[in-house]
Chain A
């Protein structure tokens, strides 16, 4: 059974500081996704990581994937209040059937990030 664990589950940061959220998963997978959710809102796709060593950056957020370590990180640089949200990682048990996704993402518990002035 695939398990996805995020660390920490709660993160309180000061504006301007850096921090990293970790996502560990329990079985082989080549695909990992990061989503953001604002309170009472839907989930918004942040990053799609499709291979070992993949690194993607968008503004103050950078995500990376190490499939050998079964680990993804979401690094926050110089946090601002607008980044306050819940962040989820999700893992796909990728099945190479004609190059398409197997589907059925398994989600971590989510990390609630609060950025203070």
Chain B
């Protein structure tokens, strides 16, 4: 089983719908991240959380919200999806000593 698990892996939805992407991890890391990947733009940080009580905005947080339900769970929500939120979304955890990130398999979201 993967150390960082994302659900769903693929989702097609319509403009205006609410969508939640879920992430769970078994690595025991405190720090978790949500990134978005678009072709030619690398990965851009949406939100991050350093522990259960800590939530921080990344560089592209508009239109997104997150919830850290437990050390192992970090969810990303799109309250009202729009087509330019079509992308590949990655959850990651961080090894605090080295800063190395460990990524989930990704969630491909298409907003029509």
Interface assignment of A25: CB less than 8 Å from any CB of chain B = no
Interface residues of B in 60-112 (CB under 8 A from A): 90, 94, 96-106
Given known contacts A42-B90, A42-B104, A43-B90, A105 and B99 CB-to-CB distance under 8 angstroms: yes
Q: Are A104 and B48 in contact (CB under 8 A)?
A: yes
Give B89 Cβ to nearest chain A Cβ, in Å. 11
User: Are A103 and B31 in touch, CB under 8 angstroms?
Assistant: yes
Which A residues lie within 8 Å of B101 (CB)?
A: 33, 35, 43, 45, 90, 105
Report B8-59 residues with CB < 8 Å from chain A CB: 31, 33, 35, 40-45, 48, 50, 58
Whether A92 lies near B103 (C-beta < 8 A) is no
If the complex has contacts A33-B101, A48-B100, A50-B98, are A104 and B58 also in contact, measured as CB distance less than 8 A?
A: yes
| Residues in B whose Cβ lies below 8 Å from that of A90 | 43, 101
Contact of B99 among A33, A35, A107 (CB under 8 A): A33
Q: How far is the CB of B73 from chain A (nearest CB, A)?
A: 19
